Amino acid sequence: MKKLARKNARVTWLGHSAFHIESPDGKHLLIDPWLENPRAPADIKDTIPADLILITHGHSDHLGNVVEIARRTGAPVFAIHEVALYLKKAGVPTAVGMNISGTAESSGFSCTMVEARHSSMIEDGETTAPGGMSAGFVIKMETAPAIYHAGDTGVFSDMKLIKQLYKPALVILPIGGHFTMGPREAAMACGLLNPKHVLGMHYGTFPLLTGTPAELKKFLPARMRPRVHTLEPGGTFMLPS
């Protein structure tokens, strides 16, 4: 009997830095689920499935709706130690603290926390709390290539170590500028990481975030420009195996 091929991993942009990854085995991973961002599909926060949630740092546009989604789904939440402590106090007993270079596994996803260059704090009403370090994640699945979600960051030379250690086929990079790297810096990051596929994020949400995928392509060498894929919020990229 001919063995049926597994389907590819599906990567859906939900606006800003929020992504939904469905593994070939049908498990659901959410990253930075601020699903009330101005570009998010309507009412998605009440219906999106989640077997695991990743949080890159404590800013409100990344913590977003994590508390209500984690309570609804019971999904574990992987985050830097300080953010995990905050989430536990906020009523998320499934929060799991970790730190840079650590790896945690759940629902067939292996998630390694990697460095990011950005600030981090937690905004709780009119007060703030320590947010530890900002981070990115390298996500591995048994039957799909690795994905690197960089979180909020500028370009940094140790991205070449992420390439050497984890070899991500898809990199998801902030390109909006002002609070993160813009297209020029993201193009440098692409050179360091040399991925097969690139998605932009953290752009177009607010007027300050002016970078675009088209501008990113202008800074890339011609051979790399076809690797940049442009999604509209709610759009899905099928990651080739």
The 3-state secondary structure of 26-59, one letter per residue: CCEEEECCCCCCCCCCCCHHHCCCCCEEECCCCC
Pairing type for strands 19-22 and 28-31 reads: antiparallel
**Residue 198 within a domain:** yes
**Residue 201 within a domain:** yes
Per-residue pLDDT at 126: 80
**Residue 3 within a domain:** no
What pTM value is reported for the model? 0.96
**Residue 170 within a domain:** yes
Would you place residue 6 in the very low, low, confident or very high pLDDT band (cuts 50, 70, 90)? low
Cα separation, 179 vs 182, in Å, equals 9
Cα separation, 190 vs 98, in Å, equals 27
**Residue 219 within a domain:** yes
For 32-56, the pLDDT digits (tens) are 999 999 999 999 999 999 999 999 9
**Residue 99 within a domain:** yes
| Phi–psi pair at 95, nearest 5 degrees | -65, 135
For 175, the domain range is: 9-239
**Residue 1 within a domain:** no
- Residue 22, C-beta contacts closer than 8 angstroms, at least 6 positions apart: 9, 10, 12, 28, 29
Comparing 3 with 129, the larger pLDDT belongs to: 129
Per-residue pLDDT at 147: 98
Task: Look up the CATH number of the domain holding residue 149.
Answer: 3.60.15.10
Assess contact for 180 and 204: CB atoms under 8 A. no
For 43-91, the pLDDT digits (tens) are 999 999 999 999 999 999 999 999 999 999 999 999 999 999 999 999 9
Kindly state the helix (H) or strand (E) to which residue 78 belongs, with its residue range: strand 77-80
Q: In total, how many domains does the chain have?
A: 1
Assess contact for 136 and 150: CB atoms under 8 A. yes
Tokens representing 167 are 């070899």
